[in-house]
Each structure stands twice: as C-alpha cells, then as structure tokens.
Amino acid sequence: MNFDTVIQSGTVVTAADTVVADVGIKGGRIVALGTDLPPTGAKVVNAEGKYVFPGAIDVHTHLDMPFGGTTTADDFESGTTAAACGGTTSIVDFAIQYRGDELRKGLDTWHGKADGKAAIDYAFHMICTDLPIARLRDMDKLVDSGVTSFKLFMAYPGVFMVDDATIFRAMLQTKENGGMICMHCENGGVIDVLVQRALAKGETAPKYHALTRPMTAEAEATRRAIALAEMAGVPLYVVHLSAGDAMEEIRKARQRGVPAFAETCPQYLFLSYEDYERPGFEGAKYVMSPPLRPRGNEQRLWEGLANNALQVVSTDHCSFCMKVHGKGSMGKELGRNDFSKIPNGAPGIETRVHLLYDGGVRPGRLTLNRFVDVIATTPAKLFGLYPRKGTVAVGSDADLVIFDPKKRHVISAESHHMRVDYNPYEGREITGRVEQVFLRGEQIVTDARFTGKAGHGTFLKRAPSGQAALGLTAG
C-alpha cells in the first residue's frame, strides 16, 4: 500500500459518519481510509483536530452569463477560483438556450466559456426557453451527452417564462429520457402586474423588488410545479426556494410520496427583507429573485433543512458589481431609478460552506453529517455525480476539504476572490475555515490561499438526474 498523499488523523465526516481516520490518495482517488495508513513515499498532510469534508458541490451557479445588456461579473476562472477557496470543488452551471436556437447551440456556447478556464470540475444544466414539440427530442441528446437536467421558468414573462403546457410536455419527455426538470417557481404573470402598478405609482426603490414578488407567488408556483410533476409522474427539483410556505408544499408532496426536492441558498438563511431598507441604493446589492423574505422566514428554512423538507443548499451565484464591471459593462446602477432594471443576482459561490458551518453547525441547527449531506452528498446523488463526487469514500475522487473548526476570519469584498465589488455578508465574522482543498488529489488551496490553476477543472458528464432522484426517493 503506497499513496501519493496521506491526510493523517483528521475527523472524516460523511453524510452519516464522523470518525477519525487517515485518508490515502492515489491517482486522484481515495484508495484507503484507515487508522494508520503507511505514509512512506507519500506527501503527508496533518489534519489532526480538523475536519475532512468531501469537496462541496454547488449545483446552482451562473458564471459569465449575459443578462439584460450586461454580463455577470464572474467568469469561469474567477468564479471557480473563488469556489475553490470556499471549499467547493464541483459546480453545475446553467447553459442557456435563447429563443429560436437549438439546445445544442446554447450548450456549445457554455462549453466554450468554461473550457480551459475552470479551476474546479464543472457540469451543466440546460435552461430551456423555447421548446416546441418538434424540439423535445433534442432534450434526449443532451441527456446522452451528460447534461441531464433542464431548468424551466415560471417567471420572467417574455424572457424565460414558459407556459404550463410546455412545462408539462418537457416533464413527460424527461420521464422518457431520465432527465430532470429544475424549476424557478414564481408566478411571473402576477409579479409583472404588481411591478407595473408599483412603477406607475412611482415606487422605484430597490425594496419594491421584494414588495412586488410576494411569498404567495412563490408558494403558488411551487405547488403548481409539483402538481405538474405529479401528473407527469416525474421527479422535480425546485431551485432557490425562499419562502416557508413554498417549503411546506415540498414537504406535503414528499409526505404523499411525490419525489419533489428543493434547494435553498445562504441568502435566504442569513439575510432578510430588512436589508432592502438599507440607506440609499444599497438595497440593490440584495436584488435577486426570489427576493429576500421578512425576518422570521429564515427560521422555517433552517428547520426544513434539518428535517429534510429541504435537501440542498446551493448558491445561485450570479454576481453583478454595484458600479462598473471589470469588463466594462454596467452593474446594479442600471436600475438606480427603476428597481425593475437592477440586474437580478448576488455573489455567493465563495461563502456558502463557511456560512453554513458557522451559522448552521455551530449553533446546533444542523449536525455535521447533515451539513455534509446538504452541501455535497445529496447534490451529488440528485444530479448524477455520485459516488464519484459528494462523499469521502474508497473509490471516490479525492475532492477533499480540510477544515479548521476554530480558525476565525472575516468576510469582506477586499479579501474575497469573486470579481465583484461588494459582498452581501461584508464584515461578518466566521468561526471555521477552509484550509486545504484537494481536487482529484491535487491541492488547489493551501493554507487558505488558492494554489490551483485555471483549466485544471474538467467537464463532468452526469448520469441521468431524474433516475438518480427517483433512486433517492425511498429514504
């Protein structure tokens, strides 16, 4: 038994277990866990008193994404570098099909964006905006090529929104091809009417973004998406769930045996509507959809994460600078006089693991095992990446995080790696720190500094997500 690397004496945490063990790595994979693995000839990393987590997986990112005349601030290089520093070793980003285009064209464009730039492994979901009956079979081809999940929108009429018949047809298609539908659940029709009425009344400040997107509009759409999936007989994955009432719809569906799943994001757990009322235009930092919810709602989400009403925490990382981007395009300023023009989205790819440990595990809201489950294991299982990714087990990729539970640091735009001029959690002190990160056995973060390189990340061809989700249903 010889190893390329041995991580010694760490507390290895999986979704089920917490044990002290050495981890032996060879050829980029974990080949042994043991009490005293022989270090001869291996690089030895001491992890005593530290946690060894599986590399986290972020199944909701938007890198290098065009949006209303601008582009997100982070491309695949800056975004994945920041992810790595935050303990994330795989992402699933959203490729976009624009109206009139083939699905394949959108996917090719996104491959072009990521290729040679990603510092961590990556996969794609496909956003579909145009699915006439004749194009449904194109979905099958994507599944064959490892893009096994499709995102549809119930919001943004005229841009991304598709009608219920289209959603239902797409679901029936994934029933055949094993893919899975991911859904943005907000009632876009209602929201548009509310936005128009607000603007007509001169209500243009950032907070009206939230006030025109009621929680009920999300709960309704969530219930509708579940009903469609139930009638189609397929699994459903609800993205960026924000409202407690929407969560109850997921819970009720699961109780009656419907394979419905949902992710929430740190912003819904740590921030609240009150942030929109910050002075001046500062509220624009928090303009995202769904919006932040009133204080008190986050407690429901925490409980839902603990008792499995929610299954995943991802980021919906979608960064726009407040001022001008490095690339020269406009940022949030676009909407200074009209909240509806503020680019929707906020950065988060780098802060998820730290926030969830500090605010979830430390105060006892989540066990260590549940924490690993929601940031790594379940995402991997739902999206066809398991067991290659998502756990610390013999045979899995050696994507590992060594985490010091005692070290403190402060979140700040000054020190973060994301290419954006603010951080929603600016000044928050965090206990616990990602110290070392390994991707397929190579160390890409060393003592909390990025030591990997662009292009090291590879495209992950995923197994069918829908089938994986069904497999997860019983338990």
Residues 197-256 that bind a second copy (CB under 8 A): 197, 214, 216-217, 219-220, 223-224, 227-228, 230-231, 251, 254-255
Q: Contact between 15 and a second copy (CB under 8 A)?
A: yes
Total Cβ atoms within 10 A of residue 412: 13
| Binding to a second copy in span 79-108, by CB under 8 A | none
Residue 235 exposure: Cα atoms within 13 Å on the Cβ side: 25
Closest approach, Cβ 99 to a second copy, in A, equals: 19
Residue with tokens 């819904």: 268
Choose, by CB under 8 A, the member of 5, 7, 10, 12 that binds a second copy: 12
The verdict on 387 binding a second copy (CB under 8 A) reads yes
Q: Within a 10 A sphere around the Cβ of 248, how many other Cβ atoms?
A: 16
Which of 104, 141, 341, 365 binds a second copy (CB under 8 A)? It is 365
Cα separation, 350 vs 345, in Å, equals 15
6 in helix, strand or coil?
A: strand
Closer residue to a second copy, CB minimum distance, 303 or 442: 303
227: three-class secondary structure by DSSP: helix
Binding to a second copy (CB under 8 A) within 140-159 occurs at: 157
Least distance (Å) from a second copy to the CB of residue 174? 14
What is the nearest approach in angstroms of a second copy to the Cβ of residue 217? 7
Spell out the alpha helix ranges (H) of 368-451: 368-372, 378-382
Question: Hey, which residues between 263 and 292 contact a second copy (CB under 8 A)?
Answer: none
Minimum CB distance to a second copy smaller for 190 or for 322: 190
Q: Which run of H or E residues covers position 285?
A: none
Task: Give the x/- contact pattern for a second copy in 39-78, rule: CB under 8 A.
Answer: ----------------------------------------
Output DSSP code: residue 278. Answer: S
Nearest distance in Å: CB 470, a second copy = 9
Q: Which residue in 41, 105, 137, 193 binds a second copy (CB under 8 A)?
A: 193
Report, in this order, helix, strand and coil percent for the chain, each rounded to 5. Answer: 35, 25, 40
Least distance in Å: CB of 5 to a second copy?
14
**Rg (alpha carbons) of the chain, rounded to whole number:** 21
- Residue among 243, 244, 186 nearest 220 (CA): 186
In the bound complex, what is the minimum distance in angstroms from residue 101's beta carbon to a second copy? 23
Between 24 and 55, CB nearer to a second copy: 24
**What number of other Cβ atoms are within 10 A of residue 33's Cβ?**
17
* Structure-token pair, residue 149: 């999940």
Of residues 160 through 179, those in contact with a second copy by CB under 8 A are 163-169, 172
Site string for a second copy, 293-332 (x = CB under 8 A): ----------x-xxxxx-----------------------
* Shortest distance (Å) from residue 229 CB to a second copy: 10
Tell me how far apart the alpha carbons of residues 65 and 91 are, in angstroms, rounded to a whole number. 15
Burial 184-220 (b: 16+ CB within 10 A, else e): bbbbbebbbebbeebeeeeebbbbbbbbbbbbebbbb
Establish if 340 lies at the interface with a second copy (CB under 8 A): no
